[in-house]
Amino acid sequence: MSKMANYEGPTVTNNVNSGNMIFKPILEDGVFRFDCSTNDRDAAFPSISFVNSKDRETPITSDKVPSYIPAFECLLGQQVVKLELPLGTSLYGTGEVSGQLERTGKRVFTWNTDAWGYGSETTSLYQSHPWVLAVLPNGEALGILADTTRRCEIDLRKESTIQFVAPSSYPVITFGPFDSPTAVLISLSHALGTAFMPPKWSLGYHQCRWSYVSDKRVLEVARTFRQKRIPCDVIWMDIDYMDGFRCFTFDKERFQDPKSLVKNLHDNGFKAIWMLDPGIKREEGYHVYDSGSENDVWVQKADGTPFVGEVWPGPCVFPDYTQSKVRAWWASLVKDFISNGVDGIWNDMNEPAIFKVVTKTMPDSNVHRGDSELGGCQNHSFYHNVYGLLMARSTYEGMKLASEKNRPFVLTRAGFVGSQRYAATWTGDNLSTWEHLHMSICMVLQLGLSGQPLSGPDIGGFAGNATPKLFARWMGVGAMFPFFRGLSEADIIDHEPWSFGEECEEVCRLALKRRYCFIPLIYTLFYFAHTSGTPVATPTFFADPKDPSLRRLENSFLLGPVLVCARTLPSQGLDNLEFTLPKGIWLSFDFGDAHPDLPALYLKGGSIIPVGPPLQHVGEANPSDDLTLIVALDEHGKAEGVLFEDDGDGYEFTKGEYLLTHYVAELQSTTVTVSVYKTQGSWKRPNRRLHIQLLLGGGAMLDTWGMDGEVLQLILPSEDEVSKLVSAGAKQYKNQLENAVQIPDLEEVSGPKGTALTRTPIELKSGDWVLKVIPWIGGRIISMMHIPSGTQWLHSRIEINGYEEYSGTEYRSAGCSEEYSVINRKLEHAGEGESVVLEGDIGGGLVLQRQIYFPKDAANVFRIDSSIIARNVGAGSGGFSRLVCLRVHPTFNLLHPSESFVSFTSVDGSKHEVFPDSGEQFFEGNLLPDGEWMLIDKCLGIALVNRFDGKVVSKCLVHWEFGTVNLELWSENRPVSKESPLRISHEYEVVKFP
């Protein structure tokens, strides 16, 4: 071992609580483990993220030293790690997160959370990746992993600075700096493991709904895909296939014969994927519950009894996947389940999500009797973030037990760094909005930059009604994502490709055919992801990491050497087709399918990509058995590319039963020669025709045919003829776009949940606040973003929650859903003094009126003046005798439910702290808050203060819900007249809280 391998920096004693971290090289050159001290190193728990925990513990011989050394501070049981990098460094990673691609200015918390309807500022989603990828100004890259399963704050608000805060003690692992971001991700995969090799069919299109409620409906959907010749490979079964939501069962009426259903699907080229949740109904006589109880597999409360939480079946118990015996028990259930013809399994609700509790999950005090190699017996706060990973691992292992001839396909909602070894993932319960379409690109890329290449969003949005144009655009972009599935929730309009009219259906058909043409390329990229740890979809800046102008691009991404340029805003159309291209040669191409709602495609000069025919499903026999190579020469007249082939499933490829072909092209004089440079593997080359398409630019190309394996040549025409071909190609491409059948730009769609998602909210801004207001449903405020703290205090679906007002003491009385008119809108200069006045008719001659404004003298607050006003009260109107109560009803998001509470001083001077376990409480009379109360987040160290006029507020209500809290202000309950309206004036401010 070299001298440097033992270097531990300055001597650190037990009472030192700050300084530079000590390090040891591990794994391979350029990878270092940092700890606060030798004692901290010895105290650290085993790694669950590393594929082999011993790799993190074992020093290697290395002469390298770190380029950057993190500093630490230990305070009140928290370990704060800070790494300062050169100015101009760009930050990425952080796993499954919403918001912008470049992460500077963001702060997230690793705490797996059921985040239905999340927004761009939501700080915790379904997965946890305490990992940051930093791209330095010179294009080199560095990765840093805080290897802790505990709740961890990743603070990137200070430019070029990475800070982790989590309970002591945990090591930090750095990877690099290496020459490129790809090199960092390859090195990361040596620690975390690579992605599982997906079966080829799983790269096709997947169709899902919550739920296809019967086998008849499943077969109807499958038939329609084939009748309409729209490609699709997989139909998914959500929870309604089960008998009363009991896992490993089938509803005896609606899914009487699952084997027969799957056979029918298989005969028509479909695979079937079925959902399994961790919540097992507590019911004696139910075989899974009885077996689990007999084997003592359940997560326990602190008193040693099984924890019971409410989920879909009602009261449930939960397997403790931290124990090998429990994972084996679950795997045996999965093995038996597969015998029903199950092709893949969907693990949902495994954060784990629990209903009817404010924290949305199990109590931290629950006990997991984990294996020693995972960390031993610990409370839930230790294992919470890896519960989903361990469930996915158990499911994956059960599928392997069921069949050694088929590769498992598992999809998991919850996960941790390392989950890619066992499962794909998706970006959770998103919304059918243009914002979420745009954000889906960033989310897929961030997952890829955090080691998880197989991911994608719910195409079209899970919650709410898509419009035809939004759905078509999303399908066009989604066709180029690694994982490609459409899913929508119950009680909305249908979201199948044919559900939005003929024009949208045709765009979806084109997008899906394009996807299937790219299957050879995508499958090849996943082979390298599995064997080498390379990413599949990457940000545009991967084409030139040294170019800072590319680092914030969010409407384009790379799929290997293909640049996908998408229009993710509704206003982008034929008049906005310009995209930022990296330096070098980028040649546009398509499949004769150019359309304004499909992404534009460019191939990097020097590249060859394999494409196939537009099949109906991956396993469909290809009558012509043709392969196409699309070639883009670089400035030296050369190009190269690879194609991986095997039988599409199983593990024979690990024994050499595959064919990896390296194709090259070279221009000499006026002749372009395309040939096989080298091959690997023992798989026999198919006897097939080879179609060469040489891109010239502007959509123009030359082509020739031959047999695969032969040397093929194309003769370039003169420069003048090439120029004419390019000009004609560009003209043809433009004509295709202009003559494409346009999707109607509908602002309204029919359906149970109405049309609200297609309208544009009013946005109000000040120095500190950004608010979004929707007049068309109750004048509701759906977003309250506080800019300095980066917190989204209120983020709601348009149809429900947010900031509402009622005209009665009962829940959802008049005022919460009536359409409001905008009476006045003022936009002052410099972002100050903006205001809006809204008014809604609530009947009986009464109106609810609200003014929202930012006072010029206090840009750090915003104020709301609400009133119930009599307009036309007279004889017979009912207004004089009608009792009304102005009830202000904001639903605030709890960013950290277990760390939040409400605090105030009452009129009589008594102090009150109201915690989530208190349920619902009224305060009135002398116990009424004395003009203000605050919602405190101890984790963030800040509070949302609500000040109000105590003379007009007669009651205050605190109501804790599933990850939210209502802080309500109630007026007195009385009739109103023109002379005596009801008014409540109040304001909000965010302050620091020690």
pLDDT digits (tens, 9 = 90+) for 932-959: 999 999 988 999 999 999 999 999 999 9
Note the pLDDT of residue 578: 74
Assess whether 261 and 305 both reside in one domain: yes
Kindly state whether residue 8 falls inside one of the protein's structural domains.
no
Q: Which amino acid is at 881?
A: S
Kindly state whether residue 751 falls inside one of the protein's structural domains.
no
pLDDT digits (tens, 9 = 90+) for 833-877: 789 999 999 888 899 999 999 988 887 999 999 999 998 765 444
pLDDT band at 620 (very low <50, low <70, confident <90, very high): confident
Question: What mean pLDDT value characterizes the chain?
Answer: 92
| Residue 116: domain span | 17-192
CA-closest candidate to residue 540, choices 558, 524, 525: 558
381 three-class SS: helix
Count the helix, strand and coil residues of the chain and give each as a percent rounded to the nearest 5: 20, 30, 45
Note the pLDDT of residue 751: 36
Note the pLDDT of residue 16: 62
Average pLDDT over residues 640-648: 97
pLDDT band at 622 (very low <50, low <70, confident <90, very high): low
Of 40, 240, 351, 805, catalytic: 351
Mean pLDDT is lowest, of 257-266, 301-310, 785-794, for: 785-794
Q: Which amino acid is at 419?
A: S
Average pLDDT over residues 776-797: 88
Inter-residue long-range contacts of 836-841, CB under 8 Å, 24+ positions, other chains counted: 836/762, 836/764, 836/773, 838/773, 838/775, 838/779, 840/778, 840/779, 840/815
Assess whether 235 and 331 both reside in one domain: yes
Distance CA 937, CA 455 (A): 32
Assess whether 544 and 462 both reside in one domain: no
Distance CA 914, CA 390 (A): 35
Note the pLDDT of residue 208: 97
Q: Which two tokens mark 250?
A: 């089938």
Distance CA 471, CA 627 (A): 31
What count of Cα atoms within 13 Å lies in the side-chain half-sphere of residue 857?
0
Q: Which three-class secondary structure string do you get for 155-207?
A: ECCCCCEEEEEEECCCCEEEEEEECCHHHHHHHHHHHHCCCCCCCHHHHCCEE
Of 96, 320, 348, 649, catalytic: 348
Residues 6+ apart with CB under 8 A from 305: none
Assess whether 91 and 161 both reside in one domain: yes
Instruction: Note whether 178 and 72 are within 8 A (CB).
Output: no
Instruction: Note whether 632 and 585 are within 8 A (CB).
Output: yes
Kindly state whether residue 755 falls inside one of the protein's structural domains.
no
Kindly state whether residue 749 falls inside one of the protein's structural domains.
no
Other beta carbons less than 10 A from residue 339's beta carbon: 10
CATH, residue 558: 2.60.40.1180
CATH, residue 210: 3.20.20.80
Other beta carbons less than 10 A from residue 988's beta carbon: 24
Per mean pLDDT, which of 369-378, 488-497, 618-627 is the most reliable?
369-378
Q: Is 57 a catalytic residue?
A: no
Please report where in the chains the tokens 């384009």 appear, as a residue: 556
Q: Which two tokens mark 869?
A: 């006003």
Give me the phi and psi of 690, to 5 degrees please: -120, 125
H/E segment holding residue 539: strand 537-539
Alpha-helix residue ranges (DSSP H) falling in 539-629: none
Distance CA 95, CA 111 (A): 12
Distance CA 298, CA 325 (A): 11
Domain finish residue from 525, 554, 573: 525
pLDDT digits (tens, 9 = 90+) for 540-552: 999 999 999 999 9
Of 251, 429, 646, 799, catalytic: 429
Q: Is 429 a catalytic residue?
A: yes
Number of domain units in the chain:
4
CATH, residue 28: 2.60.40.1760
Distance CA 475, CA 497 (A): 8
Assess whether 334 and 231 both reside in one domain: yes
Query: C-alpha dihedral over 706, 708, 710, 713, to 10 degrees?
Result: 50
Assess whether 802 and 668 both reside in one domain: no
Kindly state whether residue 288 falls inside one of the protein's structural domains.
yes
Assess whether 732 and 676 both reside in one domain: yes
Quote the percentage of the chain above a pLDDT of 70. Answer: 95
pLDDT band at 898 (very low <50, low <70, confident <90, very high): confident
Assess whether 495 and 547 both reside in one domain: no
Q: Which two tokens mark 914?
A: 């109201």
pLDDT band at 896 (very low <50, low <70, confident <90, very high): confident
Distance CA 260, CA 547 (A): 56
The yes-or-no verdict on residue 917 having pLDDT over 90 is no
Distance CA 529, CA 194 (A): 7
Kindly state whether residue 702 falls inside one of the protein's structural domains.
yes
> How is residue 27 annotated by DSSP?
S
Instruction: Note whether 178 and 32 are within 8 A (CB).
Output: no
Note the pLDDT of residue 575: 59
Domain finish residue from 481, 501, 525: 525
Instruction: Note whether 430 and 118 are within 8 A (CB).
Output: yes
Q: Which two tokens mark 561?
A: 């050497």
CA-closest candidate to residue 588, choices 874, 598, 51: 598
Q: In Å, how far are 474, 649, 846 from 332, measured between CA atoms?
A: 39, 22, 64
The yes-or-no verdict on residue 497 having pLDDT over 60 is yes
Assess whether 830 and 960 both reside in one domain: yes
Assess whether 542 and 603 both reside in one domain: yes
Average pLDDT over residues 158-181: 97
Assess whether 726 and 768 both reside in one domain: no
Domain finish residue from 674, 706, 739: 739
Assess whether 937 and 959 both reside in one domain: yes
Q: Is 238 a catalytic residue?
A: no
pLDDT digits (tens, 9 = 90+) for 232-285: 999 999 999 999 999 999 999 999 999 999 999 999 999 999 999 999 999 999
Note the pLDDT of residue 831: 46
For 854-870, the DSSP string reads: --TT-TTEEEEEEEEEE
CATH, residue 866: 2.70.98.10
pLDDT digits (tens, 9 = 90+) for 674-721: 999 999 999 999 999 999 999 999 889 999 999 999 999 999 999 999
127-128 and 415-416 as β-strands: parallel, antiparallel, unpaired?
A: parallel
